[in-house]
Amino acid sequence: MLVLEYKVKAKQVQYRAIDEALRTVQFIRNKCLRYWMDAPKASKIKCFDLNKYSTELRNEFKFVKDLNSMACQASAERSWLAISRFYDNCKSKKNEKKGYPRFQKDNRSVEYKTSGWKLHLTKRRITITDKKGIGELKLLGKWDIHTYPVKAIKRVRLVRRADGYYCQFCVDIECIDTQPKTGNEIGLDVGIESFYTDSNGHQEPNPRFLRKAESELKQAQRRIYKKKKGSTGRRKARVRYSRKHLRISRQRNEHAKRLARNVCKFYDLVAYENLRVSNMLKNHCLAKSIAVCAAWCDSSIASWYQFRQWIEYFANKFEKLAVAVPPQYTSQECSQCKRVVKKSLSTRTHACQCGCVLNRDTNAAVNILLKAKSRGGHPQSNAKGVATSTLLGVTLVEQVATVNLESPSMQERGVSMF
């Protein structure tokens, strides 16, 4: 699956129609969730029942009927996704919060399946054919959607972001770009001081995008509260604040994507730690630097999670091997004699009795590589580096958008996923 994204250009009336469609999707999702909560035997409610209930909503509310029927089904499926994730967490006896489904307050996307839209012959315009009044939208972008047959487009998604509206196409094709084998192997240890340290001793600097923009964000946030509630000035101040956060999010993603692509291109085996970021957040001294943001995809200030996702994606694309290994004792164990040398977080040099003196992170990276080579990798990683645990619980479009979406800026630099 590939996701191709275009910027949408339209009139203000059309933008308001898109917003109305987004509110309708949110209404259907929340109604389905309430239907599940109020059911006498909620455990017997299935996805089919929620789809059937969405049809009842179409008969009851005119504004719901104006939305395409398949878009209504996709909205019901979103609520079922949250419910099924809650059931899975309960069955697995997860020690943390089970993730009880919550009502949505700010929906930002509407998803059409195989109906409700029609591409122009030039494939540079798309017409939304339901009764919401969205009409024809102009597509701005450099992606080659015209090279794919219309039947290969399985879903179309309209997304609202801080800097405008976007249209995503989910194309059902296999993306394989076989790279020549280099015979090189590498272990990666992510950190806060450096983005990652590899088993060769190289340390990639941490860009710290949020830290650098923190003062601007605070200033933009103060401007919001200086404006009167409900005023146009306050709304504009919120948009400026949101755009700054969006820029940081894109910087993180591009940085993690570029590094992951280079690593997978030049190494046949990439070993990394199977970190549980939620457990690491319990350290209040480091929580801000590794905190995971609740956005469309999990991303941290150090972008560890995004980096792992792109490693798995490019390993699958280039037909390389990516292995996640358990992180226990990778920092404490000596990479030469395997003796355990206990050290605190403030100790940045590994010094063993056998004479091995290395940087703490370099020693950990070597241990990670040795664990991967000894077949001690995570059991959910396969030969192509796809670990299903990182993408569990997202819709089809969210999954491929998280893993397969590359921005035009990479294409301009000569880095293409096609």
For the entire predicted model, the pTM comes to 0.77
Q: Does residue 180 sit within a domain?
A: no
> What confidence tens digit (pLDDT) does each residue in 44-88 have?
889 999 999 999 999 999 999 999 999 999 999 999 999 999 999
How many CB atoms lie under 10 A from the CB of residue 94? 11
Q: Does residue 281 sit within a domain?
A: yes
Q: Does residue 402 sit within a domain?
A: no
Let me know whether 157 and 287 are in one domain.
no
- Distance separating alpha carbons of residues 299 and 253, to the nearest angstrom: 8
Residue percentage of the chain with pLDDT more than 70: 83
- Residue 286's pLDDT is 59
Residue 123 pLDDT > 90: no
Burial (CB count within 10 angstroms: exposed 0-12, middle 13-18, buried 19+), residue 348:
exposed
Between 317 and 387, the more confident residue is: 317
CA–chain centroid gap for 135, Å, is 30
> What confidence tens digit (pLDDT) does each residue in 174-216 have?
877 888 888 899 998 888 778 888 888 888 888 888 888 889 9
Let me know whether 321 and 264 are in one domain.
yes
Number of domains in the chain: 2
For residue 340, the 8-state DSSP code is B
Extract the tokens encoding 95.
């020690």
Between 9 and 211, the more confident residue is: 9
Residue 134 pLDDT > 90: yes
Nearest to 324 by CA among 192, 179, 187: 187
- Distance separating alpha carbons of residues 264 and 314, to the nearest angstrom: 6
- Residue 33's pLDDT is 94
- Distance separating alpha carbons of residues 91 and 85, to the nearest angstrom: 10
Extract the tokens encoding 70.
């398949």
Are residues 32 and 54 in contact, defined by beta-carbon separation less than 8 angstroms? yes
How far apart are the two ends of the chain, measured CA to CA in Å?
A: 11
Residue 404 pLDDT > 70: no
Let me know whether 76 and 190 are in one domain.
no
Give φ, ψ of 46 to 5 degrees.
-120, 175
Q: Compute the mean pLDDT over every residue in the chain, rounded to the nearest whole number.
A: 81
Ranges 86-95, 366-375, 390-399: which has the least confidence: 390-399
> What confidence tens digit (pLDDT) does each residue in 273-331 have?
887 666 666 666 655 555 533 332 333 444 778 888 899 999 988 989 999 888 887 88
Q: Does residue 124 sit within a domain?
A: yes
Ranges 100-104, 216-220, 377-381: which has the least confidence: 377-381
Q: Does residue 99 sit within a domain?
A: yes
Query: Mean of the pLDDT values across residues 121-126?
Result: 88
Let me know whether 159 and 201 are in one domain.
no
- Residue 233's pLDDT is 92
CATH code of the domain in which 280 resides: 3.30.420
Q: Does residue 411 sit within a domain?
A: no
Let me know whether 167 and 194 are in one domain.
no
- Residue 295's pLDDT is 31
Residue 4 pLDDT > 80: yes
Residue 408 pLDDT > 80: no
- Residue 393's pLDDT is 35
Let me know whether 189 and 165 are in one domain.
no
* CA-to-CA separations, 35 to 57, 62, 65, in angstroms, rounded: 11, 19, 18
- Distance separating alpha carbons of residues 275 and 263, to the nearest angstrom: 19
Domain that holds residue 137: 2-171
Q: Between β-strands 269-273 and 321-325, what pairing exists: parallel, antiparallel or unpaired? A: parallel
Are residues 373 and 342 in contact, defined by beta-carbon separation less than 8 angstroms? no
Radius of gyration of the chain (CA): 24
Q: Does residue 49 sit within a domain?
A: yes
Nearest to 318 by CA among 361, 362, 268: 268
Q: Does residue 414 sit within a domain?
A: no
Residue 10 pLDDT > 90: yes
Let me know whether 107 and 205 are in one domain.
no
